[in-house]
Amino acid sequence: MSTIAVRPTGKTDLADRLLMALLAVAAFKTRAVEALSRRIQAAKAREEGGYTAVELILITAAVIVVVGIAVVAIKAAVTTKSTSVGNCITGADTTNNGGCN
């Protein structure tokens, strides 16, 4: 916080009073601006602490997409392997080991 020190000149009483009034207003304004700035910084600090609803929705959507891709990949692998095992069992009574490796 800055402080302005002005001593009245004593030449004109009205001019000195106006000057002191202006300085008082300037000092009040400075303190008010500093206080408001501190409150804004505190509010921003509180806002940055957690996720907003939009961020949570985006995170949830990303997780759902990743899980969906994993399920599709696992399903394809299981289906392929189970088909291979089924074909091996079905062809077990034929020659060449039913195509099983």
Domains of the chain, by residue range, sit at 1-50, 51-101
Q: Please tell me which residue, 41 or 14, carries the higher pLDDT value.
A: 41
Indicate whether 9 pLDDT > 80: no
The pLDDT tens digits for 70-91 are: 999 999 999 988 888 887 887 6
Instruction: Supply the pLDDT for residue 16.
Output: 79
The pLDDT tens digits for 41-69 are: 888 777 666 677 888 899 999 999 999 99
- What is the C-alpha separation between 23 and 6, in angstroms, rounded? 9
Residue 99 is given by DSSP the state G
* 9 φ/ψ angles, rounded to the nearest 5 degrees: -80, -25
- Residue located via tokens 């009205």: 14
Neighbours of 98 (CB within 10 A): 13
Cα–Cα nearest to 88, from 100, 78, 101, 80: 100
- What is the C-alpha separation between 83 and 77, in angstroms, rounded? 10
